[in-house]
Amino acid sequence: MGTLTLLGVMGAIVVAILVSTLRGLARRTWLAALPRLRMLAQRSPPVVRVALRITADKAIPTWRIQSGYHPRLKDPLDERIFRLHEHKKPDFFIVGAVYLDVQAAPVTSLLLDNTEHSDLDEMRLVCGGSACYVGRYLYTQSQAKAKSYLYTRIGKGDALSRELSRQLRREPWIRKRILSVAKSRQAGVSLHLVNREGGYHTTFTSKGSLASLDWALIRDKLIRRSQDGGILHISGYFRTALFEGLDFTLAHLPPSLIVCLDHGKFLQEDNKSASKALFTAFEQELIDFYICTLPELRELMYLADVHVPDGAPAPHILETWVAACHLPRVTIVRCEPTATAATAYVIIDNMVHPPVVHEAVPSSSLTLPGRSNAFNAALISGLARGERGETFEDLIKRCVRDALKEYMES
């Protein structure tokens, strides 16, 4: 009996090796033939071209990278957006920073001095970071409870990383977690100090394992999952290494995938390489929607050697930016909100449109951690659904208006 079992195990191993070898040979043969197959496909009728493309997507999801074919550069954004509306439930893909948030409240001192304060009411450990907040708002804002694919990087081997992993497993908005683990590195951690009224908070952040999050770790998995299209939201760009291989990855994503980027706050002196990669992606039209705040835009303009005087009005800043740089098809700039209204500017095809304004009293403090991500979540959720007879420009302005409403009233 033992001999038969051993022979069976050995036979299974031999079969597995043969299957793996045959698959490898088939894959190399397929990839070697791709340039000729693509040339033949281009001469075929449209129906045949579509059938061949679908077959290639199913067989080797990363075939575009191997063949040098860049379909996203030839497919207009408005057409891709309206094709997206044909899906009842488009997929959302979120790439970026996830932190373990340590929230301490109330913090009564505004100065760091050699004094002990023992009046904290609570210390909370929760999932935070821009990627987490966008996914969470998408889930809570949608009646259908829209779930997202999460691509991020966490640490391993320490208590904080284990706690973050445990917290992520309990998040209901995550459809599937694609976590790249950095061994012997601590997870990203943010310490939030909040006052009693919630009117201000100070944040201290350690990037930890997020500093080594790059596209090489997640590229193949992202391409494989996103073959049917959807919306990709990139956040925490300047807190990670996502600038490495940015243009190469975005150029080879499936053509039906809409790319939105919100880099968040950053320090000028630490991010020259990342800003250069971002400007290259702008010039190559690889980013469909660029989202930022007015202060963030001014920081980016400084790195691009585009200067405007302090105190310049928003329209002047935006016109200067449009005249000096090549922008994505759509740029959305959110201004600092007031106690009664929120404002955002929309730039479409290098034209600055009148501001979109939503007048309302915020339901809670606008400075609470992650609050601004309600705007991004509502925006990409709106992009996924259209209205009858709506033009591309009307769609963008409606989405921005709804996003401001969610931001102020969520």
Q: Please report the pLDDT score of residue 168 as a whole number.
A: 93
Residue/partner pairs of 348-354 with CB below 8 Å, 24 or more apart: 348/392, 348/393, 348/396, 350/322, 351/322, 352/315, 352/318, 352/319, 352/322, 353/393, 353/397
DSSP three-state, residue 177: strand
Q: Is the pLDDT of residue 28 over 70?
A: no
Burial class of residue 91 (count of CB atoms within 10 Å of its CB; 0-12, 13-18, 19+): buried
pLDDT of 71-86, one tens digit each?
Answer: 555 678 888 888 888 8
Q: Please report the pLDDT score of residue 42 as a whole number.
A: 62
Query: When comparing pLDDT for 292 and 25, which is higher?
Result: 292
Q: Which amino acid is at 25?
A: L
Distance, CA of 301 to CA of 389 (rounded, Å): 37
Q: Please report the pLDDT score of residue 398 as a whole number.
A: 95
pLDDT of 102-149, one tens digit each?
Answer: 888 888 877 778 888 787 887 888 899 999 999 999 999 877 789 999
Query: When comparing pLDDT for 257 and 16, which is higher?
Result: 257
Q: How far is CA 138 from CA 68, 236, 241, in A?
A: 34, 17, 25
DSSP three-state, residue 286: coil
Q: Please report the pLDDT score of residue 350 as a whole number.
A: 92
Query: When comparing pLDDT for 340 and 370, which is higher?
Result: 340
Distance, CA of 304 to CA of 331 (rounded, Å): 16
Q: Is the pLDDT of residue 30 over 70?
A: no
Q: Please report the pLDDT score of residue 183 as a whole number.
A: 78
Q: Which of 31-35, 215-219, 302-306 is predicted least confidently?
A: 31-35
Give the pairing of strands 201-206 and 189-194: antiparallel
List the strands of the sheet with 99-105, edge to edge. Answer: 122-128, 99-105, 189-194, 201-206
Contact 325, 282 (CB under 8 A): yes
Read off the tokens for 144. Answer: 């259908």
Contact 134, 150 (CB under 8 A): no
294-303 helix and 272-283 helix, angle to the nearest 10 degrees: 100
Distance, CA of 369 to CA of 201 (rounded, Å): 8
Neighbours of 41 (CB within 10 A): 17
**Strand ranges (E), 157-300:** 174-183, 189-194, 201-206, 230-235, 257-262, 289-293
The residue among 240, 190, 196 whose CA lies nearest residue 218 is 240
Altogether, the residues listed in the chain come to a count of 410
Reported as a pLDDT band with limits 50, 70 and 90, residue 12 is low
Backbone angles phi, psi at 346, to 5 degrees: -120, 130
Provide the 8-state DSSP code for 187.
P
Q: Which of 47-51, 60-64, 108-112, 130-134 is predicted least confidently?
A: 60-64
Q: Please report the pLDDT score of residue 339 as a whole number.
A: 84
Listed in sequence order, the residues at least 6 apart from 57 whose beta carbon sits closer than 8 Å to its beta carbon are: 63, 227, 254
Distance, CA of 125 to CA of 170 (rounded, Å): 13
Mean pLDDT for 232-254 is: 92
Q: Residue 383 belongs to what H/E stretch?
A: helix 373-383
Neighbours of 210 (CB within 10 A): 28
pLDDT of 314-353, one tens digit each?
Answer: 999 999 999 998 899 999 999 988 889 999 999 999 999 9
Q: Is the pLDDT of residue 303 over 70?
A: yes
Instruction: Give me the chain's average pLDDT, please.
Output: 84
Q: Is the pLDDT of residue 29 over 70?
A: no
Reported as a pLDDT band with limits 50, 70 and 90, residue 279 is very high
Q: Is the pLDDT of residue 277 over 90?
A: yes
Distance, CA of 346 to CA of 400 (rounded, Å): 8
* pTM (two decimals): 0.82
The proportion of the chain whose per-residue pLDDT surpasses 90, expressed as a percent, equals 45
Reported as a pLDDT band with limits 50, 70 and 90, residue 402 is very high
Highest mean pLDDT (candidates 140-144, 181-185, 393-397): 393-397
Provide the 8-state DSSP code for 335.
P
